[in-house]
C-alpha cells in the first residue's frame, strides 16, 4: 500500500498580492506535471491524427471527426460490455467498419461538394451537419446515459519512485504513439501511402502518373475515420462518454494540427504534447481555469513566426 | 441551381428535424386536453437528465389519464428538444405559448430555465420548474415555483450538510480546498461552500476553478494535495466528478473528507463505473434507498420507471430526477384541481398557500417559490466492491449523514483506500 499523497512542495497557503497561492517549485511535482502532460498530449494526438490526415493532407475540413471518435467510444462500449472484449482490441476491431464508413462519407462529400468546386464553405456546413446527425443517431440508438468500459488497467497506477503514472492515461499514450508510428510507416513505405502524401502535395502530378486522386483521397479519408475508432476506445478508457462529448475536442484537435504544421504527423504529436504539458503544468502549479487559454496562447506566436506550424511546410 | 437548392433543402430538413422535434402525446378523448408544454433536452450534454425527466412526465400523464384526467379533461404533453442549448429555449416557449397555446408550462434545469423566464413573465404564466438553482433570486417572479429541495438559500443548501458533517469530526478540520468547474451550478455550489467555510472558521487553502472540458484531473488533484487540506469540497459536473474521483484514487490522495456538490454521483451508470472508488466519498442526493422508508410511494414510481429506463437508455435506477419530476407534476395536478381551472393568477396564489402531498413528502413553497425548508441529503458511500451499479440498490451503500431526521449513520473518516 502506498502512502497517501502529500506533496513535499506544500508550502505557503496564504494568498499573495495577486490573489493567488505561493507554491515552492518542487522537482518531483514538476516532473509529475510534465509526464502527466505528455500522456495527455499522446491522447490528444490520437484524436487529432484523423484531422491531420483529412484537414492537413486532404484539405477536407472534417469538423465531425470528434463525433466519430465518440462513435468509436460507443462501439467500444458495446463490444466491451456485451462480449467482454478489451477496449483497445475493440477499437482495433472497429477500424474496418469505420474505414468503410469513411470511404462512403468521402464519396458523398466528393459527389455533393468537391466535384462541383463547392468544397470550402459548403463542406464546413456539411461536416457540421454530420456532427449533429451523428450525435442524434447515437442518442437514438444508445441512449443519452453515460457509458464506460471495464479493463484491469483502469483505476490503477504505475509508481516509479516519486512518479505516479495512471494506466488510464499511460495505455492510451502508448497506443496513440504506436498508431501514429504505424501510420507514418505506411505513408512513407507503401505505394498507397506515398500516393496519399502525393495527393496532398500535387494532385495533377498524381493524375499524370495514372492514379485517381479521388480514389486515393477516399482511401485516405477512410483511414482518417478508422483512426477515430481507436481514438474512441482510448477516450472511453480515460473517461465515461455521452453522445455530445465530441464537441469538447474540436478546438484542441484542430489547434494541434495547425500548430504542428499541416501534413506533419510528428509536428502534430509535438503540438499535442505541448498542449498537454501546458495544460498540466498550469493546472498543477497555477490555476486550472487558465490552462486552455495559455495552451492556445502558444498557437498565436507560433503561427506569427512560423506560418506553416512547428514542422509543417511554410505557407 | 435547382439541384443545389433541393440538396440543401433535404439536408436542412434532416438537420432541422433532428434538432427540434415537436411531439404531442396521442389522445382519444371527447374533452379538450389540458396541454402542458416544455422545452426539454433530448440531445446534447443535458440529455441524460432530460430524457429521464420526460420519461417520468409521460408515466405521470399516463397514470392521470387512466384515472380520468384532471377536471374530466385528459392531460397532454407538448415538448420540444432544446438540444441542451439555452439559445433554443426562448423560441420554443414562444411557440408553446403563442402557437401551440399550451395551458401550463414546465421548465427544466438552471441554464435552460433562465431564458424561458422573460417569456413566461411577459405572459403571466405560472412556471413550474425542476432542477434549477437560485433562479428567482434575480427574477423575483411571484408565479415561479421550483421543486428541488434547496430551500430559501439555494447556494448554501448544497454545501451546508457537508460542512456540518465535517465539523462534527474529531479532531475538527482546520483547512479546506474548494474546487469547481467554470460553470453556473459549480460556481454557485463553491460560492456556498466558501460561505460555509467562513461560517465554520475554516482556512481556505485552495480555491480554484477548472474549465469544463478538462480531460485529465491528475494535475488538479496534485495541486490540491500540495496544500494538504483537511477537507476537499468539489462542485463538479458528471464527467468532472468521475475524473476527479478517479485521479484522487489513482494518486492515492486521501484527505479527511472528500466530496460535496458532485453532480454525477447520483447517476446509476457513473456510480457503477466508479464502484469502490466511491468508498468514503461524501456527496449529495435527493433520494436514495436508505431514505426509502420515509418516501414509500417513490418505490411504486421506480417500479414503472426502471424497466422503461433500460429501453430508453437513461439513468437505470432513477433515484435522482424521476421522483422530483413526478412531484412537480403532482403539484400542478393538485393545484389545477384545487383551483378548479387554469387561471394562472389563481393557480399561483393556490400554490403559494397550499402544502402539497407528493411522493417526496409534503412540500410548502415560500414567497420566492422555493421550498420553505431545505431537504438535501448528504450521503457517504460505503462498502462498495469492484464495479457495478446493482450494489447501489443496497441501502447500506449510501449512508445518510445529514439532515438529522434522515440520518442512517455517522461519518467515516479519514478517507480510506478505495479497495477494502
- Let me know whether B279 and B381 are in one domain: yes
C-alpha to C-alpha distance for B287 and B360, rounded to whole angstroms: 8
Query: Is residue B298 in some structural domain?
Result: no
Query: Is residue A274 in some structural domain?
Result: yes
Going by pLDDT thresholds of 50, 70 and 90, the confidence category of residue B110 is: confident
**Neighbour tally for A313: CB within 10 Å:** 13
pLDDT of residue A23: 55
Query: Is residue B136 in some structural domain?
Result: no
- Let me know whether B193 and B61 are in one domain: no
B24-34: average pLDDT: 73
Please enumerate in sequence order all residues whose Cβ is within 8 A of that of A229, keeping only pairs 6 or more positions apart, or say none.
Answer: A68, A72, A75, A76, A91, A92, A94, A95, A97, A98
Q: What are the tens digits of pLDDT across the range A51-67?
A: 999 988 888 889 999 99
**Neighbour tally for B4: CB within 10 Å:** 12
CATH number at residue B209: 3.40.50.2300
A137 sits in which H/E element: helix A119-142
Q: Is the pLDDT of residue B135 over 60?
A: yes
Q: From the CA of A168, how many Å to the nearest CA of chain B?
A: 9
CB of A85 within 8 A of CB of A237? no
Query: Is residue A233 in some structural domain?
Result: yes
C-alpha to C-alpha distance for A10 and B163, rounded to whole angstroms: 24
Query: Is residue B185 in some structural domain?
Result: yes
Query: Is residue A236 in some structural domain?
Result: yes
Query: Is residue B133 in some structural domain?
Result: no
Q: Is the pLDDT of residue B278 over 60?
A: yes
Q: Which residue has the cell 458533517?
A: B165
pTM: 0.86
- Let me know whether B251 and B395 are in one domain: yes
Q: Is the pLDDT of residue B8 over 50?
A: no
Pick from A37, A133, A239: which is nearest to B239 by CB? A239
Q: What are the tens digits of pLDDT across the range A86-95?
A: 999 999 999 9
Query: Is residue A291 in some structural domain?
Result: yes
Query: Is residue A311 in some structural domain?
Result: no
B186 lies within 8 A of chain A by CB: no
C-alpha to C-alpha distance for B301 and B303, rounded to whole angstroms: 5
What is the number of alpha carbons within 13 Å of residue B53 lying toward its C-beta? Answer: 28
- Let me know whether B175 and B83 are in one domain: no
Q: What domain range is B62 assigned to?
A: 22-125+322-359
pLDDT of residue A121: 76
Q: How many domains, in total, are found in chain B?
A: 2
Length of chain B: 420
B116 lies within 8 A of chain A by CB: no
**What string of H, E and C letters represents the secondary structure of B224-282?**
HHCCCCCEEEEEECHHHHHHHHHHHHHCCCCCCEEEEEECCCCCHHHHHHHHHHHCCCE
Q: Which of B151, B116, B159 is nearest to B134 (CA)?
A: B151
Query: Is residue A67 in some structural domain?
Result: yes
C-alpha to C-alpha distance for A156 and A159, rounded to whole angstroms: 10
- Let me know whether B278 and B401 are in one domain: yes
Q: From the CA of A241, how many Å to the nearest CA of chain B?
A: 8
Q: Is the pLDDT of residue B54 over 50?
A: yes
Q: From the CA of A137, how many Å to the nearest CA of chain B?
A: 9
Q: What are the tens digits of pLDDT across the range B332-377?
A: 999 999 999 999 999 999 999 999 999 999 999 999 999 999 999 9
Q: Which of B210, B211, B205, B212 is nearest to B232 (CA)?
A: B205
Q: Do A5 and B210 touch (CB under 8 A)?
A: no
- Let me know whether B402 and B256 are in one domain: yes
Q: Which of A157-161, A190-194, A299-303 has the lowest mean pLDDT?
A: A299-303
Q: What domain range is A235 assigned to?
A: 27-305
C-alpha to C-alpha distance for A109 and A60, rounded to whole angstroms: 9
- Let me know whether B97 and B197 are in one domain: no
Q: Which residue has the higher pLDDT, A211 or B344?
A: B344
Q: What are the tens digits of pLDDT across the range B139-156?
A: 999 999 999 999 988 888
Q: Is the pLDDT of residue B95 over 50?
A: yes
Q: From the CA of B125, how many Å to the nearest CA of chain A?
A: 31
pLDDT of residue B23: 64
Helix/strand/coil for B90? helix
| Backbone φ and ψ of B37, nearest 5° | -105, 145
Going by pLDDT thresholds of 50, 70 and 90, the confidence category of residue B29 is: low
Q: What are the tens digits of pLDDT across the range B171-185?
A: 999 999 999 998 878
Largest CA distance in chain B: 78
Query: Is residue A3 in some structural domain?
Result: no
pLDDT of residue B313: 84
Q: Which positions in chain B touch A280 (Cβ < 8 Å)?
A: 216, 218-219
Helix/strand/coil for A99? helix
C-alpha to C-alpha distance for A171 and A235, rounded to whole angstroms: 11
Q: Do A5 and B221 touch (CB under 8 A)?
A: yes
Q: Which residue has the higher pLDDT, A160 or B381?
A: B381
Q: Which positions in chain A touch B209 (Cβ < 8 Å)?
A: 287-289
Query: Is residue B60 in some structural domain?
Result: yes
CATH number at residue A157: 1.10.3470
B189-217: average pLDDT: 93
Q: Which positions in chain B touch A168 (Cβ < 8 Å)?
A: 246, 250
Q: Which residue has the higher pLDDT, B56 or A304?
A: B56
Query: Is residue B388 in some structural domain?
Result: yes
Q: Kindly state the cell numbers that stand for B16.
A: 432541422
B207 sits in which H/E element: strand B203-210
Query: Is residue A226 in some structural domain?
Result: yes
B119 lies within 8 A of chain A by CB: no
- Let me know whether B178 and B69 are in one domain: no
Query: Is residue B140 in some structural domain?
Result: no
Q: What are the tens digits of pLDDT across the range A265-294?
A: 899 999 999 999 999 988 888 888 888 888
Q: How many domains, in total, are found in chain A?
A: 1
B249 lies within 8 A of chain A by CB: yes
Q: Which positions in chain B touch A135 (Cβ < 8 Å)?
A: 43-44
Amino acid at each position: 500500500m502506498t502512502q497517501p499523497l502529500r506533496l513535499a512542495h506544500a508550502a505557503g497557503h496564504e494568498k499573495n498580492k495577486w490573489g493567488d497561492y505561493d507554491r515552492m517549485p518542487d522537482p518531483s511535482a514538476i516532473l509529475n506535471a510534465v509526464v502527466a502532460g505528455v500522456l495527455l498530449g499522446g491522447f490528444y494526438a490520437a484524436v487529432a491524427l484523423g484531422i491531420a490526415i483529412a484537414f492537413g493532407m486532404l484539405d477536407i475540413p472534417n469538423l465531425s471527426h470528434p463525433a466519430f471518435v465518440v462513435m468509436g467510444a460507443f462501439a467500444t462500449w458495446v463490444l466491451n460490455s456485451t462480449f467482454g472484449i478489451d477496449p483497445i482490441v475493440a477499437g482495433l476491431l472497429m477500424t474496418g467498419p469505420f474505414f468503410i464508413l469513411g470511404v462512403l462519407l468521402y464519396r458523398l462529400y466528393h459527389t455533393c461538394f468537391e466535384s462541383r468546386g463547392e468544397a470550402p464553405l459548403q463542406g464546413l456546413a456539411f461536416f457540421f451537419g454530420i456532427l449533429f446527425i451523428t450525435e442524434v443517431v447515437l442518442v437514438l440508438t444508445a441512449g443519452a446515459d453515460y457509458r464506460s468500459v471495464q479493463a484491469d488497467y483502469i483505476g490503477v497506477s504505475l509508481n516509479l519512485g516519486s512518479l505516479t503514472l495512471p494506466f488510464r492515461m499511460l495505455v492510451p499514450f502508448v497506443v496513440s504513439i504506436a498508431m501514429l508510428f504505424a501510420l507514418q510507416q505506411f505513408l512513407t513505405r507503401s505505394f498507397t501511402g506515398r500516393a496519399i502524401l502525393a495527393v496532398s502535395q500535387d494532385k495533377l502530378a498524381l493524375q499524370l502518373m495514372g492514379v485517381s486522386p479521388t480514389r486515393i483521397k477516399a482511401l485516405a479519408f477512410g483511414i482518417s475515420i478508422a483512426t477515430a475508432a481507436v481514438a474512441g476506445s482510448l477516450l472511453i478508457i480515460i473517461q465515461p462518454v455521452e453522445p455530445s462529448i465530441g464537441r469538447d475536442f474540436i478546438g484542441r484537435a484542430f489547434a494541434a494540427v495547425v500548430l504542428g504544421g499541416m501534413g506533419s504527423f510528428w509536428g502534430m504529436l509535438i503540438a499535442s504534447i505541448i498542449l498537454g504539458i501546458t495544460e498540466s503544468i498550469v493546472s498543477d502549479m497555477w490555476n486550472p481555469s487558465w490552462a486552455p487559454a495559455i495552451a492556445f496562447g502558444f498557437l498565436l506566436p507560433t503561427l506569427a513566426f512560423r506560418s506553416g506550424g512547428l514542422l509543417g511546410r511554410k505557407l | 441551381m435547382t439541384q443545389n437548392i433541393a440538396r440543401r433543402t433535404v439536408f436542412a430538413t434532416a438537420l432541422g428535424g433532428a434538432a427540434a422535434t415537436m411531439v404531442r402525446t396521442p389522445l382519444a378523448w371527447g374533452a379538450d386536453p389540458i396541454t402542458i408544454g416544455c422545452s426539454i433536452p433530448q440531445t446534447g450534454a443535458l440529455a441524460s437528465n432530460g430524457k429521464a425527466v420526460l420519461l417520468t412526465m409521460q408515466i405521470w400523464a399516463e397514470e392521470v389519464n387512466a384515472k380520468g384526467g384532471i377536471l374530466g379533461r385528459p392531460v397532454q404533453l407538448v415538448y420540444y428538444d432544446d438540444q441542451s442549448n439555452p439559445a433554443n429555449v426562448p423560441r420554443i416557449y414562444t411557440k408553446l405559448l403563442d402557437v401551440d397555446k399550451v395551458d401550463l408550462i414546465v421548465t427544466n434545469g438552471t441554464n435552460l430555465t433562465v431564458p424561458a423566464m422573460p417569456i413566461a413573465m411577459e405572459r403571466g404564466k405560472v412556471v413550474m420548474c425542476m432542477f434549477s438553482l437560485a433562479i428567482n433570486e434575480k427574477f423575483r417572479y411571484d408565479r415561479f415555483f421550483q421543486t428541488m429541495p434547496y430551500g430559501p438559500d439555494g447556494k448554501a443548501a448544497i454545501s451546508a450538510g457537508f460542512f456540518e458533517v465535517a465539523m462534527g469530526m474529531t479532531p475538527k478540520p482546520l483547512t479546506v480546498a474548494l474546487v469547481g468547474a467554470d460553470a453556473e451550478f459549480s460556481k454557485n455550489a463553491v460560492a456556498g461552500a466558501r460561505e460555509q467555510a467562513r461560517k465554520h472558521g475554516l482556512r481556505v487553502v485552495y480555491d480554484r476553478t477548472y474549465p469544463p472540458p478538462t480531460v485529465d484531473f491528475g494535475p488538479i488533484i496534485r495541486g490540491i494535495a500540495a496544500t494538504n487540506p483537511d477537507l476537499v469540497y468539489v462542485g463538479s459536473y458528471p464527467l468532472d466528478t468521475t475524473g476527479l474521483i478517479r485521479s484522487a484514487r489513482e494518486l492515492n490522495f486521501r484527505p479527511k473528507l472528500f466530496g460535496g456538490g458532485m453532480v454525477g454521483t447520483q447517476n446509476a451508470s457513473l456510480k457503477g463505473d466508479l464502484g469502490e472508488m466511491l468508498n468514503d466519498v461524501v456527496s449529495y442526493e435527493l433520494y436514495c434507498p436508505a431514505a426509502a422508508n420515509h418516501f414509500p410511494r417513490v418505490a411504486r414510481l421506480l417500479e414503472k420507471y426502471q424497466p422503461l429506463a433500460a429501453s430508453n437508455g437513461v439513468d437505470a435506477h432513477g433515484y435522482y430526477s424521476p421522483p422530483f419530476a413526478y412531484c412537480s407534476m403532482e403539484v400542478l395536478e393538485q393545484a389545477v384541481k384545487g383551483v378548479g381551472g387554469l387561471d394562472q393568477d389563481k393557480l399561483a396564489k393556490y400554490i403559494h398557500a397550499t402544502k402539497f402531498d407528493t411522493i417526496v413528502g409534503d412540500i410548502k413553497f415560500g414567497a420566492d417559490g422555493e421550498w420553505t425548508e431545505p431537504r438535501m441529503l448528504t450521503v457517504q458511500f460505503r462498502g462498495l466492491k469492484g464495479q457495478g451499479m446493482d450494489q447501489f440498490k443496497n441501502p447500506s451503500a449510501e449512508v445518510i449523514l445529514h439532515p438529522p431526521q434522515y440520518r442512517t449513520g455517522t461519518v467515516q473518516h479519514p478517507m480510506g483506500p478505495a479497495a477494502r
